[in-house]
Amino acid sequence: MSTLNTLTIKEAHTKLCEKEISAVELTQSCLDRIQKTNDQLNSFLTVTAEEALAQAEDADKNIAENKVGPLTGIPLAIKDAILVAGSKNTCGSKILENYVAAYDATVIRKLKEAGAVIIGKTNLDEFAMGSSTENSAFGVVKNPWDLERVPGGSSGGSAAAVCADQCLGALGSDTGGSIRQPASLCGIVGLKCTYGRVSRYGLAALASSFDQIGPFGKTVTDAAWIFSAIAGHDEKDSTSFIEATPDLTNLIPQIKGKKIGIPEECFIKGLNPKVKKLVGEAVDTLEKLGAKIDEVSLPNLSYSLPAYYIIMPAEASSNLARYDGIRYGRAAEVETKTLIENYLKNKAEGFGDEPKRRIMLGTYTLSSGYYDAYYTKAQKVRTKIIEDFKKAFAEFDLLITPTVPDVAFKIGEKADDPLAMYLNDILTVSANVAGVPALSLPCGFVDDLPVGLQMIGNYYQEETILETALAYELATDWNSKKPKF
Q: What is the mean pLDDT of the chain?
A: 94
Q: Is 357 exposed, middle or buried (0-12, 13-18, 19+ CB in 10 A)?
A: middle
Over residues 231-249, the mean pLDDT reads: 93
Q: In the chain, what are the domains?
A: 4-250+441-450 (3.90.1300.10)
Q: Dump pLDDT digits (tens) for 55-81.
A: 999 999 999 999 999 999 999 999 999
DSSP 132: S
Q: What is the dihedral of CA 476, 245, 117, 437, to 10 degrees?
A: 50
Short-list 42, 46, 56, CA closest to 82: 46
- What is the distance between the alpha carbons of residues 5 and 194, in angstroms, rounded to a whole number? 30
Is pLDDT larger for residue 355 or for residue 181?
181
Q: How confident is the model at residue 345 (pLDDT cuts 50, 70, 90)?
A: confident
- Is the previous residue joined to 297 through a cis bond, with omega within 30 degrees of 0? no
184 is a catalytic site residue: no
Q: How confident is the model at residue 267 (pLDDT cuts 50, 70, 90)?
A: confident
Q: How many residues are recorded in the chain? A: 485
Close Cβ partners of 485 (under 8 Å, ≥ 6 residues apart): 37, 40, 144, 145, 147, 164
Over residues 269-289, the mean pLDDT reads: 96
**pLDDT in the model for residue 328:** 72
- What is the distance between the alpha carbons of residues 263 and 347, in angstroms, rounded to a whole number? 42
- Biggest CA pair distance of the chain: 71
235, 199 contact by CB (below 8 A): no
290 backbone φψ class: left, alpha, beta (φ>0; ψ -120 to 50): left
**pLDDT in the model for residue 370:** 85
- What is the distance between the alpha carbons of residues 151 and 175, in angstroms, rounded to a whole number? 17
Q: Dump pLDDT digits (tens) for 368-412.
A: 788 888 999 999 999 999 999 999 999 999 999 999 999 999 999
Indicate whether 1 pLDDT > 70. Answer: no
154 is a catalytic site residue: yes
**Helix H or strand E segment including 452:** strand 449-457
Which residue among the candidates 87, 132, 158, 178 is catalytic per the annotation?
A: 178
DSSP 374: I
Indicate whether 322 pLDDT > 90. Answer: no
This prediction's pTM:
0.96
Q: How confident is the model at residue 25 (pLDDT cuts 50, 70, 90)?
A: very high
Share of the chain above pLDDT 90, in %: 84
Q: Dump pLDDT digits (tens) for 415-465.
A: 888 778 888 899 999 999 999 999 999 999 999 999 999 999 999 999 999
- What is the distance between the alpha carbons of residues 476 and 285, in angstroms, rounded to a whole number? 9
List of E strands, 185-301? 189-192, 212-217, 259-263, 292-296
HSE, CB side, 13 Å, CA atoms: give it for residue 343: 7
Indicate whether 225 pLDDT > 90. Answer: yes
**pLDDT in the model for residue 103:** 97
Amino acid letter, residue 471: A
List of E strands, 277-372? 292-296
**Helix H or strand E segment including 388:** helix 377-393
- What is the distance between the alpha carbons of residues 341 and 338, in angstroms, rounded to a whole number? 5
Indicate whether 334 pLDDT > 90. Answer: no
HSE, CB side, 13 Å, CA atoms: give it for residue 36: 15
- What is the distance between the alpha carbons of residues 452 and 402, in angstroms, rounded to a whole number? 6
Q: How confident is the model at residue 268 (pLDDT cuts 50, 70, 90)?
A: confident
Angle at alpha carbon of residue 15, lines to 56 and 183, rounded to 5°: 75
Which residue among the candidates 10, 79, 258, 414 is catalytic per the annotation?
A: 79
Which residue among the candidates 154, 199, 228, 430 is catalytic per the annotation?
A: 154
Helix (H, G, I), strand (E, B) or coil at 377: helix
**pLDDT in the model for residue 8:** 98
